A and B are shown apart, each in its own frame.
Chain A
Amino acid sequence: MNAKWFPGVVAAVSSALACGCAVTPTAESSSNGNGLEAQSRSPSGHGIATEAQRFASGQPDELRPFFRALYIEGEHNAVLNFDYLGLAALESGQYEISAKAFDAAISRIEAIYANNPSAQKAKSLFAEEKVKDFKGEPYERAMTYFYRGLLYAHSGDYQNARASFLSAESQSMMSESESYQSTFGLMDYLAGWASYCDGDDSAAAELGARAATLQPQIFGVLSDQVNFIGLIDVGTGPVKYGIGQYHEKLAFKASGRTPGVADVHVSSATLSAPTLAADLNFQAMTRGGRPVDAILNGKAEWKSNTEGASTALTAAGYTATLEGAVTNNQNLQSAGEIGMVVGLMGGLFAKAMTPAADMRTWSSLPAAIVLVAGQLPSGTAPAMTFTVAPDGSPASASLAAHAGRCSIAWGEAPSRLESAAAQVATPVLAEGRHEAANAQLRSYLETTFAGGQAASIAEQPGSAVRSEAP
């Protein structure tokens, strides 16, 4: 190695460092934060996008963006996209689609990912946590079961409604720390209510008492034997963010102030006062540490140490090279150059290490759930209207049903349809090693959600798709 070779080497290495394109699997986040690897257009990407467009065009207008995202992103984001779809379908009164979407999300949440390749890859120093298939944090998983429970109650299947609410409660308790065990009394209360509706008064009393023990100030004063439940989702759900030098630790914060419900009216009903019965921000923030944090923390330490060593080696090599050049000491100059190159290569490796936590979020969740309970005249379908404090205009329930012994109504304010559609507007292909699984998912979508006739396959304006690098 000599002085003439040195500027070229440094320039090449520096250039590689600057663009990060030599060995780094560049992360580029999409609008829904799914952040798969660097994408560029490819023929297969266009083919899938076209197929997705055809498939989505046969679905109800307001749900097309969700079907399209699901089709394109495949298994990698299936739980997240099924959740978005399920909630949007619930809000727009497409209950059958909603139920199927939540069922599909639940089957994946319950799958054991012991040898899942994407989970293994996420442990690598050079892959971010978000390369794993999304299952959601405990509060997100719990809400999947909660909405499925509402749909079972809507169809009068109170036994499966109870099972779903109990599963929601169980998912919310997936904390590593014993000090963060269940505070989701609403799910026990609803499971008790579903038992009452099913004619199982003893289970109703038992589960009602459990809810009252968990949150006596809320459920201690409510009867566990009422024939009407009204639930209202209010506000916008928790926000995920990364803390630590490399955002390696997942943290949660409220997206804003949680509004209350000023007024609820249900035809002919005697109701309890509206009560904030579940606080999702609290559910998210009391999750405690995740075992995966230790892995990400280890990655962060590796990255920090490698960066430190690289900087020191590069600086020492630079000094030695200069000194060798000034004193005309060829050996010193060559040693310095080697030190610099090794240091710069170390920098490249450090740059490629990606310890950031997975921040994909089911962002259409509410901040809280407001509950009213009471008695409706037997056989009456509820007509619920409500006003969210302080300045909201009156809104109506999106779901209302009477079945058997009981009635239920559910509504939300503000509507989250548009913001959720915006979140899934730029889906990212994730074929890679997922091709077989994605093909299976797409086949499932085509048969399960066989909507209407195939429409134009021309892409709609603004329906950008980023496809995978060849």
Chain B
Amino acid sequence: MTDRMMRDMLTNPILAGRGTPPRVVIDSEFFSNKGTQAINRDLITNRLRVNLNRAAQGRLVFVTREHVGMVQQERDLKRSGTTDVGTTGVTRGMAGADYRLTGEIADENERNARTGMIERYNQITFEMVDEESGAIVWSGQYEFERAADDDVMYR
């Protein structure tokens, strides 16, 4: 799924076709689990960010919001003269984000008590939201369905 998402995003001209690469936040902060299965949301968003970052080849710039404190700490050291300014220069502020990924996972389950057949339909919706205007510049929806029947000894 994350591979498909990555391809979808990189073909979107607003996201990956600009002269100045847009800045994007991808983390699990606004990715909600509304399904009936506990999941590790970070697994999905981390994989997506890492793969997208590799494939984007500079067409997208990824910005962290999880480690703002860490960045601020280093900025303070540079500005207090405790350290020099490094090799990439200093900026007036940290990078502001143009877009942020939001998402939701939901599912529908059906169980046939007589046959033991369990059917699970999962739907994951992602939207890339413009952090200034609120416009949704990209969306993707991914579905998968699984069905299996447990042994009669366990029904």
Name A's B-contacting residues (CB within 8 A). Answer: 106, 112-116, 119-120, 122-123, 129, 132, 135, 148, 152, 159-160, 162-164, 166-167, 170, 173-178, 198, 200, 203, 290-292, 295
Contact = CB atoms under 8 A, between A and B. Distances in A.
B154 A119 contact: yes
Nearest to A152: B38
Nearest to A106: B38
A167 B113 CA distance: 16
A295 B38 CA distance: 34
A152 B41 CA distance: 14
A159 B113 contact: no
B38 A123 contact: no
Contacts of A132: 153-154
Contacts of B152: 123, 291-292, 295
A164 B155 CA distance: 20
Nearest to B36: A166
A261 B32 CA distance: 36
A176 B36 contact: no
Contacts of B22: none
A196 to B, nearest CB: 14
Contacts of B35: 163
Residue picked from B38, B113, B151, B154, most chain A C-beta under 10 Å: B154
5 contacts: A123-B153, A159-B34, A174-B113, A177-B113, A198-B32
B138 to A, nearest CB: 24
Interface of B: 32-39, 41, 109, 111, 113-114, 116, 118, 148-155
Contact of A119 (B33, B149, B151): B151
Contacts of A173: 111, 113
A176 B33 contact: no
A163 B104 CA distance: 13
Nearest to A169: B36
Kindly name the residue among B36, B38, B114 whose own CB sees the greatest number of chain A CB atoms within 10 A.
B38
A178 B111 CA distance: 12
Contacts of B154: 113, 119, 132, 135, 292
Contact of B153 (A122, A164, A175, A178): A122
A163 B36 contact: yes
Contacts of B32: 159, 198, 200
Contacts of A166: 36
B34 A174 contact: no
Given A113-B150, A160-B39, 6 more contacts: A114-B149, A116-B151, A200-B32, A291-B155, A292-B154, A292-B155
Contact of A203 (B34, B36, B113): B34
A167 B151 contact: no
Nearest to A174: B113
Contact of B37 (A116, A119, A167, A174): A167
Given A116-B151, A119-B154, A163-B33, A176 B114 contact: yes
A175 B149 CA distance: 15
A129 B111 CA distance: 23
Nearest to B37: A163
3 interchain residue pairs of minimum CB distance:
A160-B38, A166-B36, A119-B151
B68 to A, nearest CB: 20
Given A170-B109, A170-B111, A163 B38 contact: yes
A162 B38 CA distance: 8
A413 B66 CA distance: 42
A460 B155 CA distance: 40
B36, B37, B153 pick with most chain A CB within 10 angstroms: B153
Nearest to B107: A163
A44 to B, nearest CB: 28
Contacts of B151: 113-116, 119-120
A123 B152 CA distance: 9
Contacts of B38: 106, 148, 152, 160, 163-164, 167
B118 to A, nearest CB: 8
B42 to A, nearest CB: 11
B33 A112 contact: no
Contacts of B118: 112
A170 B114 CA distance: 15
Contacts of B148: 112, 114
A113 B149 CA distance: 8
A183 B111 CA distance: 17
Nearest to A134: B154
Contacts of B155: 174, 176, 290-292
Contacts of A292: 152-155
Contacts of A290: 155
B30 to A, nearest CB: 12
A175 B33 CA distance: 27
Contacts of A167: 36-38
A163 B122 CA distance: 13
Contacts of B150: 112-114
A176 B41 CA distance: 34
